[in-house]
Chain A
Amino acid sequence: MAKIEDLLTWALSPTISAILVTLIFSLTLPVLIHYYLYKRAVAKELPTFLLLGPSGGGKTALLTLLATGAASPTHISQAPQTAICQLPSTTRASEDQYRSENDTSSRSQPSILLLDTPGHGKLRHHAFSSLTSPAAIKGLLFVVDSAVLSSAAGLTEAAEYPYDILLLLQKRHTQGKTSKGPQAIPVLLVANKQDVFTSLPAGLVKSKLEEELGKVRLTRSRGLLDSGIGMEDDTDEEGNWLGEYGAKTFRFSQMREHGVEIDVVGGSMNGEGEDPGNVHECWSWIGANI
């Protein structure tokens, strides 16, 4: 008992040793608490790429191919799925672009987070909410089935989704609240299923989609007003017109002024040859945009 009383008396007395002990204690305690709390290290935020597109395009198969190297059989997605993929050794990331080829220092390839969303009409809100959420999306992979685009009905059906997405990106840019504006999101249009006989090559996919998007924007501008007309802040025509206002034709280059860069590549899951699937170009685009 006496010892404890002595100890307490010493601790509260203005001796140098007591002050030193207090100082050390009060400085190291928060540090220790910090280490304890952050022991389960929060993973560094990985760059996120979003996979979207009309139903049946091959998004989930592409996800499995990029993540595991082999495409699994898939069915219609009902829910979004994430996967962590690492860039293959053959692809250069953008941060390595100034390294020499013969640089022998060991470095690990960066990994990315791929987010696959359902393409069915009723479930597209997952993709829209991911785009508008605060999480930073580094790029968009828009996967379309090139074989379906060769028929007129398939083309019409496949065009309304890219229209909505591009309009959302444009509005995000033009209606930003701050002067800086949100980070630009580049878009890669993957013309999938190139191995199918009736598929169109990537260049033709691009021109057909541009044409169709031009028609869609024309009819949307002339269409009926929405019932929720009082809800939105602006209903001006210019805001709802994709690309250059008043232009006769739509080109993907018109989206560049809104910071949306669109590239088109072809891809296929069941490729012959040494690599399963033909996704080199996808990887190089991802690597360039990390």
Chain B
Amino acid sequence: MLDAFEILTTSGIVLWRRHYAPLSSNVIDSLVRDVFIEEKQKSGGAENSAPSYKKDRYTLRWTSAKDVGLVFVAVYRSLLHLSWVENLLAAVRGLFTKAYGQELRKPHTLKVDTAQWNPMFDALVNRLDTGSTRRQSDTLDSEGPTELTPPSSSAGDDAHEPPPVPAPLFKKPAIPAKKGVVVDDTTSTDATPVPTPDTSRPATPGHAASHILTAKGGPGKASRRSRKGQTFNTSAPASSGDESSAGRTLKGSGKNATKGKRRWDIDGMAVEGDDDGVLDYSAPATPGPDTADRELDVSDVNTSQMGSHTGKGQFVLKDLDDEVDAILASSKQQSTSTTTTNGEIATGSGLLNTATSRLTSLFRNVVGGKTLSKSDLQQPLQQMQTHLLEKNVAREAAERLCQSVEINLLDQKTADFTSIDATIRDSMTKALTRMLTPTSSLDLLRDVSSTTSGPGARPYVISIVGVNGVGKSTNLSKIAFFLLQNRFRVLVVAGDTFRCGAVEQLRVHVRNLSALSQREGVGKVELFEKGYGKDAATVARDAVAFATNRDGHAQVQGQGMLYDVVLIDTAGRRHNDTRLMSSLTKFGQLANPDKVFMVGEALVGTDSVAQARNFAKEFVDTKGKLRNNGVGMDGFIISKCDTVGDMVGTLVSMVHATGIPVVFLGVGQHYGDLRGLNVGWAVDKLMK
């Protein structure tokens, strides 16, 4: 069952909401932030598929109506699998836009009167709700349990009931039919119990699925919650089996040699006691008095529903059905016929026809006011994509940018006196700016000063990673120079214990930097190294401990922190070498850096995407969550920017692949050649 359904505008105002269960507002907030603004996930290609997004225990599916600027979101628990939500979203979108679209198109509208919408929504849910199934493993979904439960019109009543139970397919064969202990198998109040044949109820799914889902259900006493959670899954044979077998042995005297009937109560625990309940569900129940009543009840409800809303009410219901059918049918048709429109570009035969059409389109191109269709955009977008590829943007990133521009511009009108090319350029500039602008800009000096002062003062740890030969050690010394000029004490750690000459290279850098800093009388820089062949993670950890000077090493007693910033260099590694990449995880956990920067060179081509992705996913903390809010690293340093001139597309590729912002640019081979990123400058260069 749905937990919530909300209709909100692109400016964030909630026009209408329906909460079936309490839901905190930050679930939908994070959907908007992650998908629409930061675009960490593909926000849905076709208009008709409802993509899904997971947060905590919820799955959110959404669709949007761009012309009126609305977003429709349905929220339900991830354990359930509701297949009708897509249709519900499409139907709601169509009906709501039709009912309130006029009002919403007027400027300055903040609210719409949604009093009439509530019964329409209820009716829609009643109509489309086909029940839910508890999400099992994927192989079992193909058995289609929902086909056994007929969609009923009274399923809407379940809106206020506790979460439903899955279809009978996944229950163990022995189900009690005692009145008091009714395990409701179906989500709808059926008149008769569903006649499920014995053969379609294999015993193995229960066992097969259990090992996937019931990791906690070990033998012995499982907690009550896990037992409850296992009720609707195939009950773990281990736990319940043991109990029931224990129970059985206790009662063994009463049962003799025959296998005792096993019964389960609602919690999945074996019920001992009298077994005079009928366990066989396969035979259709004899139409007893209560079932007849229930049948009558259902039909009563039906007729009263149709009968009580005579005139206006009945009319509305019928209309609704027709409309909904039309909407669903059209959406299905749209999704299947995507390529037919492409073929019909120039249907007019004859020279005059094509000439006049070309002239009018040229005229419209110059004057503006042209509604853009797919065929209009195809050619210029192709050119734009080639332009981006020439600027060294990876193909994947260029394609995705062009697709997002196309989705934005489809069915929009061009402004006055702007051609299609200009419109596309403008839209692409906006898309690039949005992609390159970070959510919160990095102020390194501010971060360092706040960490190294105050009550919980500790050294600030920065580590640099990257593939071989991109300029890690050089850029690390540039950062060290920058920090030294701001009067911090820097400890450079030679974490590259593999490449020959790496430690000596850093020693030379540190010598130069200390000479420079002594000349100006600022800061202090030292090298921490343990030679070659050691594990980089332990070297890093020792270095941080040394800088913190918490337990007071033999050399320096009675002082606070020895160093303000610890800069850790690491060995270059290929991103497709799994052994070396996995050692990064251990490094990240032991050294626990405040910032992890990955260096990528501006000269690299399409490989940048794979590099960025592989490096980002290595930095997980001990709980398995990626650090820094799930992105992995804290920033990119793009080196050797002076060598590429205008072709700075690597910026875009790496940001697109991971969502991590670019923090520094290396523009030369001297210590002072480090710059921050100016988004306008970068976009200018890309669009030149």
Question: Which residue numbers of A lie inside 8 Å of B, CB to CB?
Answer: 60, 63-64, 67-68, 72-84, 116, 118, 120-123, 125, 152, 156-157, 160, 215-216, 219-220, 222-229, 231
Q: How far is the CA of A106 from the CA of B677 in the complex (A)?
A: 57
Complex alpha-carbon distance, A60 and B682, angstroms: 32
Q: What 4 A-B pairs come out closest when comparing CB atoms?
A: A228-B681, A228-B678, A81-B11, A77-B12
B550 contacts chain A at the CB level, 8 A cutoff: no
CB distance from B322 to the nearest CB of A (A): 33
A83 touches B110 (CB 8 A): yes
Residue pairs across A and B with Cβ atoms less than 8 A apart, 22 shown, are A64-B110, A73-B25, A75-B28, A76-B29, A76-B33, A78-B32, A79-B10, A79-B11, A81-B11, A81-B110, A120-B33, A120-B37, A122-B37, A123-B434, A125-B433, A156-B443, A220-B443, A224-B675, A226-B675, A226-B678, A227-B665, A227-B681
Question: A121 and B439 in contact (CB under 8 A), knowing A73-B14, A156-B446, A215-B446?
Answer: yes
A122: chain B residues at CB < 8 Å are 37-38, 434, 437-439
Tell me the nearest residue of chain A to B32, going by C-beta. Answer: A76
Which B429-451 residues have C-beta < 8 A from chain A? 433-434, 437-441, 443-446, 449-450
Q: Besides the contacts A63-B110, A78-B37, A226-B681, what 10 more A-B pairs have beta carbons closer than 8 Å?
A: A68-B111, A74-B13, A79-B69, A80-B11, A122-B37, A160-B443, A216-B443, A223-B443, A224-B674, A225-B675
Q: Is the CB of B28 within 8 A of A152?
A: no
Interface residues in B74-104 (C-beta closer than 8 Å to A): none
A181 to chain B, nearest CB (A): 25
A71 to chain B, nearest CB (A): 10
Cα distance, A226 to B677, chains bound together (Å): 6
> What distance in Å separates the Cβ of A113 from its nearest Cβ neighbour in chain B?
8
Asked if A229 and B110 make an inter-chain contact with CB atoms under 8 angstroms apart, the answer reads no
Residues of A within 8 A of B446 (CB): 156, 215-216, 219
A229 CA to B107 CA, complexed, in Å: 41
Q: Is B281 in contact with chain A by the CB < 8 A criterion?
A: no
A219 touches B443 (CB 8 A): yes
Candidate in B449, B676, B677 with the most chain A CB atoms within 10 angstroms:
B676
Bound-state Cα–Cα, A225 to B681, Å: 13
On whether the beta carbons of A231 and B486 are closer than 8 Å, the reply is no
Query: Per a CB cutoff under 8 Å, which of A73, A75, A84, A225 touches B32?
Result: A75
- With the chains together, A17 CA to B676 CA distance in Å? 79
Main secondary structure of the interface of B (DSSP, over half): mixed
Interface contact B441-A160, CB-CB below 8 Å: yes
From residue 643 to 688 of chain B, which have CB atoms closer than 8 A to chain A?
Answer: 664-665, 667, 674-678, 680-682, 684
- B471-498 interface bits toward A, Cβ cutoff 8 Å, 1 = contact, 0 = none: 0000000000010011000000000000
Decide if B676 touches A78 in the complex (CB within 8 Å): no
User: Does B8 sit within 8 A of A, measured CB to CB?
Assistant: yes
Contact B17 A73 (CB under 8 A): yes
Give A66 to B317 CA distance when docked, in angstroms. 38
Give chain B's interface residues, CB within 8 Å of chain A: 8-14, 17, 25, 28-29, 32-33, 36-38, 69, 107-108, 110-111, 433-434, 437-441, 443-446, 449-450, 454, 482, 485-486, 641, 664-665, 667, 674-678, 680-682, 684
The distance in angstroms between the C-alpha atoms of A255 and B641, with both chains bound, is 38
Main secondary structure of the interface of A (DSSP, over half): mixed
Which residues of A lie under 8 Å from residue B9 when comparing CB positions? 81
Which among A215, A220, A223, A229 has the highest number of chain B CB atoms within 10 Å? Answer: A223
A60 lies within 8 A of B13 (CB): yes
Is there contact, CB below 8 Å, between B664 and A224?
yes
CA of A123 to CA of B38, assembled, Å: 10
Q: Is the CB of B108 within 8 A of A76?
A: no
Closest residue on chain A to residue B433 by CB atoms: A125
Shortest CB–CB separation between residue B128 and chain A, in angstroms? 25
Residues from chain B with a CB closer than 8 A to the CB of A123 are: 37, 434
- Per the bound structure, the CA–CA distance linking A116 and B684 in Å amounts to 28
- Do the beta carbons of A224 and B37 come within 8 Å of each other? no
Contact A224 B14 (CB under 8 A): no
Which residues from B are CB-within-8-Å of A220?
Answer: 443
Known: A72-B111, A227-B665, A227-B682. A78 touches B443 (CB 8 A): no
Residue from B438, B439, B443, B674 whose CB has the most chain A CB atoms within 10 Å: B443
Given contacts A81-B110, A219-B449, contact A72 B37 (CB under 8 A): no
Contact A60 B664 (CB under 8 A): no
B444, closest chain A residue (CB): A223
In the assembled complex, the Cα of A226 lies from the Cα of B37 at a distance in Å of 25
Indicate which residue in A120, A152, A226 contacts B439 across the interface (CB closer than 8 Å): A120
Q: Which of A74, A76, A82, A223 contacts B37 (CB 8 A)?
A: A76
Closest to B30 in A: A76
* Contact for A160 among B28, B110, B440, B684, CB less than 8 A: B440
Contact B36 A78 (CB under 8 A): yes
Give the chain A neighbours of B482 by CB distance below 8 A.
224
Most buried by A among B11, B434, B446: B11
CB nearest neighbor in B for A59: B12
In the complex, the answer to whether B449 meets A60 with C-beta atoms within 8 Å is no
Residues of chain A lying within 8 A (CB to CB) of residue B674: 224
